[in-house]
Amino acid sequence: GTGNPYVTTDYPAVQRALELRADAILAAKNGTDGIYTSDPRHNPDAQRYRNVEYNSVIRRNLRALDQSAVLLARDHELPIHVFNFDEPGLMYRICDGEDVGTLISSAPDELVETEREQHTMRVAVPAD
Query: Which CATH number is 10-118 given?
Result: 3.40.1160.10
Please count the CA atoms within 13 angstroms of the CA of 7 that sit on its side-chain side.
11
Q: What is the pLDDT of residues 51-110, one digit of tens each?
A: 999 999 999 999 888 999 999 999 999 999 999 988 889 899 999 999 899 999 999 999
